[in-house]
Amino acid sequence: MTPEPVPSLEVGDAVHDTVRDRFGRVMGHEGPYLQIRPLAGGREWDADPGHLRLLAQDELLRALVAEANARSRQGI
């Protein structure tokens, strides 16, 4: 089975890291990896581009609402 081609991701794209099951934005790259920052901000992590999936607009909205709800439950 041939792997699915990875779409070209650009700085600012909202993605889902399928290995870590986390959502974030592409901030840059270092060698073969992309740096991803959580949607609500925070510490970046390195991700293999082959394990990232570009988010559709409805998925991005759902992830942003989930982040906002989590922050409100923590009293932030």
pLDDT tens figures, 6-16: 568 999 999 99
What pTM does this model have?
Answer: 0.81
The residue with tokens 């982040």 is: 67
Cβ pair 26, 13 in contact under 8 A:
yes
Domains and CATH numbers, the chain: 14-73 (2.30.30)
Q: Name the CA dihedral angle for 58, 45, 7, 11, rounded to a multiple of 10 degrees.
A: 80
Closest CA to 53 of 43, 40, 63: 63
Alpha-carbon span 19 to 10, nearest angstrom: 19
Indicate the SS3 state at residue 71.
Answer: helix
Banded pLDDT at 74 (limits 50, 70, 90): confident
pLDDT in tens, 7-63: 689 999 999 999 999 999 999 999 999 999 999 899 999 999 999 999 999 999 999
